[in-house]
Chains A and B, each alone.
Chain A
Amino acid sequence: MPQSTIVRLEGITKVYGMGDTTVHALAGIDLMIEQGEYCAIMGASGSGKSTMMNVIGCLDRPTDGQYYLDGQDVAQLSDRDLAHIRNQKLGFVFQQFHLLPQLSALENVMLPMVYASVPTAERKERAAEALIRVGLGQRLQNRPNQLSGGQQQRVAIARAIVNRPVLLLADEPTGALDSTTTREILAIFGELNESGMTVVMVTHESEVARCTNRVIWFKDGQVMQSYLAPEDLGTVTAA
């Protein structure tokens, strides 16, 4: 399979506020993420890693700079087009799972396909497939409140991959889980990555980052280390 660039950022800046109170959340980021990579974005709070995540996730537009997602220029698309991009090319996993309580696991996973106008029969089939893939084949009809935290996060992962995105974004996916469950969830991310999925994960836990292949280290709105091997994490945290 030929390697292609999933994320290409060129001179991305993000400025909040105006006049004297301007904050440069991102101060000129150049970054490439290739297909099949498994990256962790790390950094202290206020380092710009969340803003980075929002820009990569097309939830926010950069103030300036170029962003090519899967070869498409998405830096200044309209809200409507960005919604379409998020639906088709991106999958999100959040710390708080964000499942809809009134819907079953299956229905929660079907939701992205609802917005993609996938035919109903196909929705069910694909949603069930995705849930089986994350090991929840037996829990299709359960409501979120009938599931454990780890199971809920699996449902969220199934929801993120059901539209076959080019990039899976996870924002502190293990932040609300205990260590055993964290290992299980990380194993799922590992499996997904091995099957070719590009995964970018924001985390502040070095144990979690160690499961990835590459750590991108943020500080003061800039990338300090772009190709840090997870094994070398200790050197940066010490610094």
Chain B
Amino acid sequence: MDWVESGKMAVKTLTANKMRSSLTMLGMIIGNASVIAMVGIGQGAQRLASEQFESLGPNVLFISPGSNQARQRATNLPRTLIWDDAKAIASQVPAVQEVAAQKQGQYPIVYGGLNSSSSITGTTPSFLSVRSFDVAKGRFLTDLDLQRNQRVVVLGADLANRFFSDQDPIGKRIRIRNVSFQVIGVMRPKGSFLGSNQDDAAYIPLTTMSSTLTGRTSPYGLDVTFISVSAKNEASVPAAEFQITNLLRRRHKIVSQDDFTVQAQKDILQIVGTITGGLTAMLAAIAGVSLLVGGIGIMNIMLVSVTERTQEIGLRKAIGASGQDILVQFMIEAVLLSAAGGLIGTGVGVGGTLLVATFSPLKAAISPAAIALAVSVSGTIGLVFGVIPARQAAKLDPIVALRSA
């Protein structure tokens, strides 16, 4: 019995029982669709995160307080990273172009009857160029603002919109934590970064932040949340990283473990990649389990089918089918079921991925590797889970099989 004939026969048998065949395939369809969609979405998340960090610019470095271990343990971070460190880096590290210190907080902002709890960043004028931000209207903070502890604020685009929908915000006074600030500028919209809206923010002089909002929080000086540094160019990033580390170790009199962390964009990308890669693998593994369950469903139905078709098997053997012919017939049915389910599932998965890509910020991507994997796995599952029922069919004694009612 040749393959074409066996294939035709299998199609005939499967289509004779459409309801059962399609329900059996459903397991494979769901399994395959979820593998493809999950991997697609996971990779989309990975790409989104990577793109956001890439948008920081390849020559940007971040210095944050606390060692990596301390940050991972989320223990109390030391308040040893201060503005003077930022100044020292700017003046003493040759590979560095500009340095911006940032002190972050979340405070209530009130204007007229409106209020909002937004992210307040105390920073320095170089923030704009280091972080590639831009002012849409008015001006940004100046060195003079910092020297004089001016109570001035530059609003993020969304915040400006919410408070001053149709009026010019420049010159208006808003209250941050009950302290009056004059609006001097509005930022150009920047979009969200890792899920937090960068336009729902306000920027004030670092010195004002410390003196009027947070108060003195560290015995070492004006401590900062982190320092953003731009290296002269991409090639000088490693040098900058090395020089900054050395300088800070000297300044902080470090003898054993660093109390700060220097990370280049590349380092962060790597971490993000590891996290989202792991997430994708986990999603795929969960989806893979449903593929397995689909396979077991096929085995189950094939076993039922063998029992139901005992007489058919007996007859086929009586008219000359060998055990191997029967084995092949049932294997083909199982593989057809799983492969067809796999193909349909692939279609559903691709469709779902495209939907997600269209209607969400996740740039879900169709991964050819995931498709190849899912289809080949589902075919293999048909083979593996088809073997037991097919062997059972092949072993049937024709006499017993024919006599069974």
Task: List residues of A whose CB falls within 8 A of some B CB.
Answer: 54, 57, 59-60, 79-80, 83-84, 86-88, 92, 94, 96, 98, 100-103, 111-112, 114-117, 159, 163
**Who on chain B is nearest to A111 by CB?**
B319
Cross-chain contact B402 with A112 (CB below 8 angstroms) = no
Contact B325 A115 (CB under 8 A): yes
Q: Is the CB of A84 within 8 A of B320?
A: yes
B320: which of A98, A101, A115 is its contact (CB, 8 Å)? A115
- On whether the beta carbons of A80 and B323 are closer than 8 Å, the reply is yes
User: 8 Å CB contacts to A: which residues of B1-48?
Assistant: 1-2, 5, 9, 12-13, 16
Report which residue of B2, B314, B319, B321 has the largest number of chain A beta carbons within 10 angstroms of its beta carbon: B319
Check A92/B318 contact, CB under 8 A, given A54-B399, A98-B311, A100-B312.
yes
Task: Check if B315 is an interface residue, CB within 8 A of chain A.
Answer: yes
Q: How far is the CA of A103 from the CA of B315 in the complex (A)?
A: 14
Q: Which residues of A contact B5 (CB under 8 A)?
A: 114
By beta carbon, the residue of chain A nearest B4 is: A120
> Contact between A98 and B314 (Cβ–Cβ < 8 Å)?
yes
Of chain B, the residue at the smallest CB distance from A86 is B320
Is there an interface contact between B320 and A87, defined as CB atoms closer than 8 Å?
yes
B 305-317 binary contact with A (CB < 8 Å = 1; else 0): 0000001101111
CB-based contact B318/A102 at 8 Å: no
- Are the C-beta atoms of A80 and B402 separated by less than 8 Å? no
A2 to B316, CA, bound (A): 33
**Complexed CA–CA distance, A83 and B402 (Å):** 15
Residues in B with CB closer than 8 Å to A86 are 317-320
Smallest Cβ distance from B258 to chain A, in angstroms?
A: 75
Provide a sorted-by-A list of 12 A–B residue pairs whose CB atoms are within 8 angstroms: A57-B318, A59-B399, A60-B399, A80-B324, A83-B317, A87-B319, A92-B319, A94-B318, A98-B311, A98-B402, A101-B16, A102-B12
Report which B residues bind A (CB closer than 8 A): 1-2, 5, 9, 12-13, 16, 311-312, 314-325, 398-399, 402
A151 to B398, CA, bound (A): 24
Q: Roughly how many angstroms separate A16 CA and B13 CA in the complex, as a whole number?
A: 36
Contact assessment for A115 and B399 in the assembled complex, using a CB-CB cutoff below 8 Å? no
What 6 additional pairs, Cβ within 8 angstroms, besides A84-B320, A111-B319, A117-B2? A79-B322, A79-B323, A83-B322, A86-B319, A102-B12, A112-B320
A87 and B1 alpha carbons, distance in the complex (Å): 12
For B2, the chain A residues whose CB sits under 8 A away are 117
CA distance A105 to B263 in the complex (A): 78
Cα–Cα, bound, A112→B5 (Å): 12
Contact at B316–A103, with CB atoms within 8 Å? no
B1, B12, B399: which contacts A103 (Cβ < 8 A)? B12
Residue from B5, B322, B325 having most chain A Cβ neighbours under 10 A: B322
| B402: A residues at CB distance < 8 A | 94, 98
Name the B residues within 8 Å of A59 (CB-CB).
317-318, 398-399
Q: Which of B12, B16, B314, B321 contacts A115 (CB 8 A)?
A: B321
- Identity of the chain B residue whose Cβ is nearest the Cβ of A110 in the assembled complex: B5
Q: A145 to B325, alpha carbons, bound, how many Å?
A: 26
B14: nearest chain-A partner, CB-CB:
A102
Shortest CB-to-CB span from A170 to chain B, Å, is: 12
Give B72 Cβ to nearest chain A Cβ, in Å: 63
Q: Which residues of A contact B317 (CB under 8 A)?
A: 59, 83, 86
Q: Contacts of B321 on A, CB cut-off 8 Å? A: 83, 87, 115
What separation, in Å, do the CA atoms of A54 and B2 have in the docked complex?
Answer: 28
How near does chain B come to A93, taking the closest CB pair, in angstroms?
10
Other-chain residue from B9, B319, B324 in contact with A159 (beta carbon distance below 8 A): B319
Across the interface, do B322 and A80 meet the contact criterion of CB distance under 8 Å? yes
- Find out whether the CB atom of B319 lies under 8 angstroms from the CB atom of A100: no
| Selected contact of B319 from candidates A54, A103, A115, CB within 8 Å | A115
Find chain B residues with CB under 8 A from A98 CB: 311-312, 314-315, 318, 402
In the complex, the chain A residue whose C-beta lies closest to that of B309 is A100
Residues in A whose Cβ lies below 8 Å from that of B1: 114-115, 117
Name the B residues within 8 Å of A87 (CB-CB).
319-321
A101: chain B residues at CB < 8 Å are 16
Q: Which of the listed residues B16, B320, B323 has the most CB atoms from chain A within 10 Å of its own CB?
A: B320
User: Which of B9, B16, B315, B323 has the most chain A CB atoms inside 10 A of its CB?
Assistant: B315
**Whole-angstrom CA separation of A114 from B321 in the bound complex:** 9
CA of A54 to CA of B12, assembled, Å = 30
Q: Please, which residues of chain A bring their CB within 8 A of the CB of B315?
A: 94, 98, 100
Cβ-neighbour of B13 out of A79, A92, A102, A114 (below 8 A): A102
Question: Closest CB-CB distance, B314 to chain A, in whole Å?
Answer: 7
CA distance A205 to B1 in the complex (A): 38
**In the assembled complex, how far is the CB of residue A237 from the closest CB belonging to chain B, in whole angstroms?**
26
Least distance between B263 CB and chain A CB atoms (Å): 67
Residue of A nearest to B312 (CB): A100
State in angstroms the CA–CA spacing of A73 and B402 once bound together. Answer: 25
Measured in the bound complex, the distance between the Cα atoms of B2 and A117 in whole Å is 7
In the assembled complex, how far is the CB of residue A64 from the closest CB belonging to chain B, in whole angstroms?
19
Closest residue on chain A to residue B16 by CB atoms: A102
- B residues near A54, Cβ cutoff 8 Å: 399
